[in-house]
């Protein structure tokens, strides 16, 4: 009885707090109005190219070439997507193949990098085996150079392993990324040791402790990592550029560049297909981020890991 009462008291306190917060937010001052207007202008700058891109993907042919150019689509159609999938599939490699390549490479890379980084960070932070400080220093150093630096030796390694023109070449080198490890490590450090000790005393083995206790608590961290690695893998232009020579193994960025024809050509005949391909190339990252966003941003505060 006493317990429920305290709970009630807590709840009313919390609702009171919320009300106070809402009141604070409702106060409209000129400063806030200006701020909101400024923010909306900035949003226009960031969002307009995207809106144009989306709108163009659904434009029928005559609107694509209308002069003066039109920003919004008047009569939306899916014809561009049909063109993309049908007209280009008559060429040697159907466009769906590029989509498939991109999907499989990205999904495997994301799963592997999340698993490998989380496991590594757990081993490093919660066991601190000899040499872990050195390893961490090396990882910090590795943060400070772009992946391009190691691209040449990587090419040699991939070449030696006979991985050129395989999915392996696009996946393996991109799993152990210093950034990803660093990010997860920072969060793992804040996970309380006591919880782990308690689980171990209860008889949980290391894998169970990691998988059932640490991983759920790190959900915000690895959700963030899912977003980051999905984006970088999906948009990766350099790896397929150097690790693949066969058309069949190319991924979307290269395929898109090929059909768009680069900056020098105007590729009028394919404008519709290019617009559709651009849409297909861009939307998955936005969708992934949007679907993860609430987890990435909201669960931060409720994750029970306080800094």
Exposed/middle/buried for residue 295 (C-beta within 10 Å: 0-12, 13-18, 19+): middle
Q: Which is nearer to other proteins, 75 or 160 (CB)?
A: 160
Helices 178-189 and 95-127 pack at an angle, to 10 degrees, of 40
Based on the shown chain and the rule CB under 8 A, indicate whether residue 153 belongs to the binding site for other proteins: yes
- Residue in 210, 217, 233, 272 binding other proteins, rule: CB under 8 A: 210
User: Closest approach of Cβ 120 to other proteins, in Å?
Assistant: 3
Q: Which is nearer to other proteins, 166 or 235 (CB)?
A: 235
Positive or negative: CA dihedral 200, 203, 205, 207: negative
Q: Please say whether the beta carbons of 250 and 98 come within 8 A.
A: yes
Q: Which is nearer to other proteins, 65 or 100 (CB)?
A: 65
Containing H/E element for 52? helix 30-57
Which of these segments, 7-15, 75-83, 88-96, 167-175, binds other proteins (CB under 8 A)? 167-175
Based on the shown chain and the rule CB under 8 A, indicate whether residue 145 belongs to the binding site for other proteins: yes
Q: Which is nearer to other proteins, 5 or 164 (CB)?
A: 164
Q: Which is nearer to other proteins, 75 or 148 (CB)?
A: 148
Based on the shown chain and the rule CB under 8 A, indicate whether residue 33 belongs to the binding site for other proteins: no
Q: Which is nearer to other proteins, 26 or 75 (CB)?
A: 26
- Kindly state the tokens that stand for 80: 């561009």
DSSP letter at 67? S
Helices 79-87 and 95-127 pack at an angle, to 10 degrees, of 90
CA-wise closest residue to 276 among 98, 135, 90, 27: 98
Based on the shown chain and the rule CB under 8 A, indicate whether residue 81 belongs to the binding site for other proteins: no
Based on the shown chain and the rule CB under 8 A, indicate whether residue 142 belongs to the binding site for other proteins: yes
Which of these segments, 7-15, 82-90, 103-111, 285-293, binds other proteins (CB under 8 A)? 285-293
Rounded distance, CA 111 to CA 180, Å?
12
User: Closest approach of Cβ 148 to other proteins, in Å?
Assistant: 5
- Residue in 73, 104, 107, 116 binding other proteins, rule: CB under 8 A: 116
Based on the shown chain and the rule CB under 8 A, indicate whether residue 138 belongs to the binding site for other proteins: yes
Based on the shown chain and the rule CB under 8 A, indicate whether residue 253 belongs to the binding site for other proteins: yes
Rounded distance, CA 29 to CA 106, Å?
47
């Amino acid at each position: 009885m006493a317990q429920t009462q305290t709970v009630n008291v807590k709840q009313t306190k919390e609702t009171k707090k919320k009300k106070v917060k809402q009141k604070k937010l409702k106060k409209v001052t000129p400063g806030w109005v200006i701020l909101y207007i400024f923010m909306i202008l900035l949003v226009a700058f960031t969002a307009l190219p995207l809106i144009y891109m989306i709108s163009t993907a659904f434009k029928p042919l005559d609107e694509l070439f209308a002069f003066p150019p039109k920003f919004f689509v008047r009569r939306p159609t899916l014809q561009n997507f049909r063109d993309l999938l049908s007209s280009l599939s008559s060429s040697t490699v159907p466009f769906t193949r590029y989509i498939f390549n991109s999907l499989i490479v990205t999904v495997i890379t994301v799963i592997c990098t999340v698993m490998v980084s989380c496991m590594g960070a757990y081993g490093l932070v919660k066991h601190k085996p000899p040499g872990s400080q050195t390893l961490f220093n090396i990882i910090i150093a590795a943060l400070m150079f772009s992946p391009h630096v190691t691209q040449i030796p990587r090419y040699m390694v991939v070449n030696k392993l006979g991985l050129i023109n395989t999915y392996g070449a696009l996946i393996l080198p991109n799993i152990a990324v210093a950034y990803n490890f660093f990010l997860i490590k920072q969060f793992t450090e804040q996970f309380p040791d006591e919880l782990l000790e308690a689980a171990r005393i209860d008889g949980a083995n290391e894998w169970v402790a990691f998988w059932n206790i640490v991983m759920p608590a790190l959900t915000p961290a690895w959700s963030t990592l899912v977003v980051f690695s999905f984006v970088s893998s999906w948009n990766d232009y350099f790896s397929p550029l150097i690790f693949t020579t066969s058309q069949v193994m190319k991924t979307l960025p290269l395929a898109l560049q090929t059909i768009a024809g680069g900056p020098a050509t105007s590729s009028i005949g394919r404008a519709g297909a290019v617009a559709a391909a651009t849409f297909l190339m861009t939307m998955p990252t936005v969708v992934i981020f949007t679907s993860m966003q609430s987890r990435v941003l909201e669960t931060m505060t409720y994750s029970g890991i306080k800094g």
